[in-house]
């Protein structure tokens, strides 16, 4: 309920002594939880009448000790500093009236290159509170094994009904779990015949299309009247929710530091062609003669969420690729694109998930996932997966691209196959100048981290005139 991942033992004798020295007001008693509830109000409990100071005879106040997560652990300043390496400070002396729609609408001072003495130890933070809006009264889950899963039913015009599962995906499930007050979506379920525990059979909602940030399903796009190609309770939408979720973030500075061009002979690219990591023009090349021009770089993907990042598919459905000798657990894990300043795609290179594993972890965090011997795949909370610049598909095929100014874009989990607590930080962009022989990549940043003014300058970047990148 408080957002901490675990509990620790506390000295209850001190609190029992304290309770005996002063009168206390007791509100609840006989609280019995199963452990899966999101809030104490969901547990079985009894209320005392009024402020019963004489209640709880022979007992004492309930005492808990919470264990902070990795971001707030004791003596974690050095860990946080390492985590923030490469992250730029953009604003200082921020002054808001409270009516602005974003921080960029407030008065602030731009940070220059030397960051004007600002350090990450002075980073600002917030603790947010979402007011109670009663959104959960218009939606419910039925048939699940736990309160966190089941077939989704919504209340429309005073009657309960199901939701059409056509087009039902992760972003829609995220909104449903948020409206239910159950955290984040683990899975968006499109067939719920095994959760048939309700006499509700009418489908009252269809065509649901959410961006993922909405508070309720009613805020999403939807059909004015329910029409579904697959009718019946079997094809009603369902969800599996969780209080925690992963959150992936790309190390933008590493992309900038490791980018270079390689002319790779075609006879060394058969495996990459099998993986569809080359542009479509490669099919017309004179194999095995000639070469492809590749923009290569390393990518380091961190998990800063509150849960491990796991592939959606179980190992029984992973696909074995003989060429590289590993299993693929996700169809597409990242998208690499080269765009013109107006967003037109000129080159594309995608990276299927060769294998998700823990390359390195923060101090005190152990590795859980590795690819060897058909091991479990994923990225542990507090760890990162490193894809070096010298492995297959870690590139954008720029063969035939003309010299000019471009934008290098990297998107993690582009199809939302795996739920995350925040999808807004999954895209990274860099300025990229290509003169036909060399490439300069700079100003790499996570999408949305620049001000509107800086973003406009970024999109209209005229290009470098020399190799002195500032």
DSSP 306-343: SS-B--SS-GGG-EEETTTTEEE-EEEEEEEEEE-TTS
Cβ distance 154 to 160 under 8 Å? yes
- Within 10 A of 63 (CB to CB), how many other CB atoms are there? 13
Check residue 465 and give its pLDDT.
Answer: 43
Residue 245 is predicted with a pLDDT of 93
pLDDT value at position 83? 52
Instruction: Please give the pLDDT value at position 386.
Output: 93
Pair 196, 143: CB distance under 8 Å: yes
- The pLDDT value recorded for residue 75 is 45
Classify burial at 176, counting beta carbons within 10 Å of its beta carbon; exposed 0-12, middle 13-18, buried 19 or more. Answer: buried
Tell me the pairing of strands 159-163 and 203-205. parallel
Low-confidence ranges of the chain (pLDDT < 70): 1-5, 36-38, 48-55, 58, 68-87, 112-117, 130, 324, 326, 349-354, 448-470
Beta strand pairing status for 139-143 and 65-67?
Answer: unpaired
Cα separations in angstroms, 230 against 69, 163, 206, 226, 356: 43, 11, 11, 12, 35
What 88-93 contacts at long range (C-beta under 8 Å, 24+ apart), as own/partner pairs, is: 88/445, 88/449, 89/115, 89/118, 89/120, 89/123, 90/449, 90/450, 90/451, 90/454, 91/451, 92/116, 92/118
* Tokens, residue 301: 């993907």
């Amino acid at each position: 309920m408080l957002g901490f991942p675990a509990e620790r033992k506390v000295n209850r004798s001190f609190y029992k002594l304290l309770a005996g020295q002063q009168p206390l007001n007791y509100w609840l008693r006989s609280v019995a939880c199963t452990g899966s509830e999101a809030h104490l109000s969901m547990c079985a409990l009894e209320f005392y009448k009024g402020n019963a100071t004489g209640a709880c005879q022979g007992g004492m106040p309930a005492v808990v000790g919470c264990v902070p997560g990795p971001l707030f652990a004791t003596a974690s300043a050095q860990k946080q500093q390492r985590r923030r390496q490469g992250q730029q400070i953009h604003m200082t002396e921020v002054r808001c009236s409270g009516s602005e729609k974003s921080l960029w609408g407030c008065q602030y001072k731009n940070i220059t290159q030397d960051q004007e003495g600002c350090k990450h130890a002075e980073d600002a933070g917030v603790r947010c509170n979402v007011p109670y809006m009663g959104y959960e009264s218009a939606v419910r889950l039925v048939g699940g094994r736990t309160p966190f899963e089941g077939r989704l039913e919504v209340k429309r015009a005073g009657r309960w009904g199901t939701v059409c599962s056509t087009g039902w995906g992760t972003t829609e499930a995220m909104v449903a779990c948020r409206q239910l007050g159950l955290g984040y979506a683990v899975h968006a379920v499109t067939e719920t015949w095994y959760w048939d525990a309700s006499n509700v059979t009418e489908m009252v909602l269809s065509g649901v299309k959410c961006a993922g940030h909405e508070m309720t399903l009613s805020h999403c796009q939807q059909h004015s009247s329910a029409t579904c190609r697959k009718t019946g309770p079997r094809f009603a939408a369902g969800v599996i929710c969780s209080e925690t979720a992963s959150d992936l973030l790309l190390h933008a500075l590493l992309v900038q530091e490791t980018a270079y061009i390689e002319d790779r002979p075609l006879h060394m690219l058969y495996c990459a062609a099998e993986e569809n990591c080359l542009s479509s023009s490669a099919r017309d090349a004179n194999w095995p003669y000639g070469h492809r021009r590749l923009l290569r770089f390393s990518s380091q993907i961190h998990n800063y969420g509150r849960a491990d990042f796991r592939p959606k598919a179980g190992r029984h459905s992973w696909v074995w690729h003989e060429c590289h000798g590993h299993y693929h657990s996700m169809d597409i894990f990242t998208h690499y694109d080269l765009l013109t300043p107006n967003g037109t795609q000129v080159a594309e290179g995608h990276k299927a998930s060769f294998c998700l594993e823990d390359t390195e972890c923060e101090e005190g965090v152990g590795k859980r996932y590795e690819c060897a011997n058909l091991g479990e795949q994923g990225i542990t909370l507090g760890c990162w997966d490193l894809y070096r610049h010298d492995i297959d598909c870690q590139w954008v095929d720029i063969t035939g691209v003309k010299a000019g100014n471009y934008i290098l874009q990297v998107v993690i989990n582009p199809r939302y196959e795996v739920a995350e607590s925040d999808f807004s930080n999954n895209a990274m962009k860099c300025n990229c100048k290509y003169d036909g022989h060399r490439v300069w990549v700079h100003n790499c940043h996570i999408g949305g981290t620049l001000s509107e003014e800086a973003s406009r300058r970024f999109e209209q970047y005229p290009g470098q005139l020399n190799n002195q990148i500032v």
